[in-house]
Amino acid sequence: MRPISLPPLARRLVLPLAALAVVASLSACEGVKKSLGLAKQPPDEFAVLPNLPLVVPPDFQLRPPGTGGPGQLETPVREKAAAAVFGREGGADTEISSVGFGQGESAILRSAGADQNDPNIRQTIDREFSIYAKEDESFVSDLLFWQEREPPGEPLDASAESQRLKENAALGKPVTEGETPTIKKREKGFLEGLF
């Protein structure tokens, strides 16, 4: 037998098509996607740093930078650590007026109770929503299973029923007379349902 030879056009297309198939199959791999820059990289919400507020100098001229010390608006490391641990800006005892609100805004926020933080708010919210979840669960089960399930009936033995109806017709009896024959299900053995 002679080996099968491809026409010149097919020979020129085989190599590029094979390379395309290899590239397409490799693009499904996560490592290749990352190296080619095709994988999604969402921003890390914990790595985002807050920007310092912009301040206009009083004389509208640039001030010379400090020599090696912290910037004028930069918060000390101790306060940053307290903010990260306690979850508040400026540590544990931040006043509403020190955040940058005016007197009127601060008064409205104080009257609304914004300066009274509940340290156990997460537990309170979890407790309240667990009550709603239990109520929703009972509502859904009432909605889905609102009817009582009737036990399944026994199947009718067709040949015995046909015989009974013929006998009743031959004797002149009504169709409803006599007991309707049913197929009795035998009980399954202990291991019968497994195999």
pLDDT score of 99: 58
Higher per-residue confidence, 47 vs 129: 129
Mean pLDDT value across the chain? 75
Cα 74–76–79 angle (5° rounding)? 120
Q: d(Cα 89, Cα 193) in Å, to the nearest integer?
A: 64
Q: d(Cα 151, Cα 140) in Å, to the nearest integer?
A: 23
pTM, 2 dp: 0.24
pLDDT at 72 over 90: no
The token duo for 134 is: 């239990």
Closest residue by Cα to residue 55 from 100, 16, 122? 100
Beta-ladder partners of 156: 182
Closest residue by Cα to residue 74 from 55, 48, 47, 100? 55
Identity at 147, one-letter amino acid code = Q
pLDDT digits (tens, 9 = 90+) for 134-152: 666 667 777 777 777 777 7
Q: d(Cα 14, Cα 9) in Å, to the nearest integer?
A: 9
DSSP for residue 154 = P
Q: Which residues 6+ apart lie within 8 Å of 33 measured at CB?
A: 27, 39
pLDDT score of 47: 66
DSSP for residue 81 = H
Higher per-residue confidence, 156 vs 48: 156
CA distances from 34 to 2, 17, 22, 47 (A): 46, 24, 17, 20
pLDDT score of 31: 73
Higher per-residue confidence, 72 vs 114: 114
Higher per-residue confidence, 48 vs 124: 124
Q: d(Cα 164, Cα 159) in Å, to the nearest integer?
A: 9
